[in-house]
Amino acid sequence: MGSELIYRGHETHPASDSYSPKPVKPWASVIRPIRYMLREQRLLFVLVGIAIATLIFTIFPTSRAPHVPHHHFTTSISDSITYFPIEPQNKFSYPHRVGFESANPTGKIPLGLKRKGLRIVVTGGAGFVGSHLVDRLIARGDSVIVVDNFFTGRKENVMHHFGNPNFELIRHDVVEPLLLEVDQIYHLACPASPVHYKFNPVKTIKTNVVGTLNMLGLAKRVGARFLLTSTSEVYGDPLQHPQKETYWGNVNPIGVRSCYDEGKRTAETLTMDYHRGAGVEVRIARIFNTYGPRMCIDDGRVVSNFVAQALRKEPLTVYGDGKQTRSFQYVSDLVEGLMRLMEGEHVGPFNLGNPGEFTMLELAEVVQETIDPNAKIEFRPNTEDDPHKRKPDISRAKELLGWQPKVSLRKGLPLMVSDFRQRIFGDHKEGSNTNNASTS
């Protein structure tokens, strides 16, 4: 029997149950959080937390500053900044080194900002220039550590700082390593007069090279700024006159003065290598002839020679024909230049000297006028490698440091003469006044 299709569209199928959600129970939104809190002792932990917070705020209440009228607000912060009432619309510029933002949220302007003292090491700080630099740094409010082996330095130069809590003195040779925590390093340690640096030339060049390496290493370790006191001797017997910092010099590398000349040139090289290779902040000063109180009396330099000889009623010894020229700056001018260089933003090198040029005969005549018009002049054979001309071009220091010497030879020489007279003859009253005048 053949299959057939049967149409059953007329039959009705049972309808499937349609979806209907469960009725929402009343208070479900309240019951569920309560059940959650009651499980696993959660409510107990919440209550304990509330109790602890309440206890803390009870023991350590928040202090609220009393209301002070806006126009009469005055306060102090860390003893270094004092706020005084100033109209909000007034403009004021802050020193860049203090580090304040230009906007002041309180609307008050700090006046009388007190500079924070630095911790500074001065190698050779008991010497002629170093001791005057220490005086200025101490007077500025810095803490100063003097490092000196007293080869040419004298304790008497810094003895007036003994007992000052901001002053320390370490007897140490910079050829040996030194560990200190400092912000700045003034590296002056090295004999600077021909008599002293020719006494032990090997020691002189070691002091220049190894001593500079040690101080640069210290600066790198502690992140200090380093200033090298180089010399005009790096120009040798110059073929350029006056000498600019771009001049490379005319130096005899095997002469009797080369231990000092080439030592300083190498020290400059090391300083720049540490700056470029290790990122050390460095400054380089090339110092020209300097005079003033506390110079070594018999150090062989022309100014001290002439002054000491005139005071002792001896002939003034002029080497060669006396036509060699030098430029002489007073020590306070040099110290000012060194500090400006250290605090400035320029590496250098910078010539620091007085461009006033004198022949040796002219200098002898000034000494005669100042001390003894009857002093005689005696000529002697010139020394080896003695430069014929020496005069700085200080245009770069004028432009970038805002520095130039202020004390002329005729004004500064009498102060030096008074100091020498006191040390040679014991005139304490006159000498002490001279020292005070020179440091001020």
pLDDT score recorded for residue 80? 38
pLDDT score recorded for residue 429? 45
- CA–CA distances in Å: residue 419 to residues 12, 306, 315: 134, 14, 20
Active-site residue (options: 197, 235, 260, 330): 260
pTM over 0.85: no
pLDDT score recorded for residue 46? 80
CB-based contact 233:294 (threshold 8 Å) = no
Would you write out the chain's pLDDT as a tens digit for each of its 440 residues?
Answer: 444 444 454 455 454 555 555 565 666 666 777 777 677 677 777 888 888 888 888 887 554 444 444 444 433 333 433 333 333 333 333 333 333 333 343 344 455 556 678 999 999 999 999 999 999 999 999 999 999 999 989 999 999 999 999 999 999 999 999 999 999 999 999 988 777 777 888 989 999 999 999 999 999 999 999 999 999 999 988 888 899 999 998 998 998 888 889 999 999 999 999 999 999 999 999 999 999 999 988 888 889 999 999 999 999 988 888 888 888 999 999 999 999 999 999 998 999 999 988 899 999 999 999 998 888 988 888 777 677 888 899 999 999 999 999 999 999 999 999 999 999 888 544 444 444 434 43
Q: Is 291 annotated as catalytic?
A: no
Position 121: which residue type? V
**What's the distance, CA 239 to chain centroid?**
33
pLDDT score recorded for residue 440? 39
What is the β-pairing status of strands 325-327 and 357-359?
antiparallel
CA 182 – CA 281 distance, rounded (Å): 13
pLDDT score recorded for residue 75? 38
Q: Which two tokens stand for residue 374?
A: 């009857």
Neighbouring residues of 298: CB distance < 8 A, sequence distance ≥ 6: 195, 304, 305, 308
CB-based contact 131:157 (threshold 8 Å) = yes
Domains and CATH numbers, the chain: 73-115 (no CATH), 119-439 (3.40.50.720)
Instruction: Tell me how crowded residue 432 is: count the other CB atoms within 10 A of its CB.
Output: 13
pLDDT score recorded for residue 29? 67
pLDDT score recorded for residue 234? 93
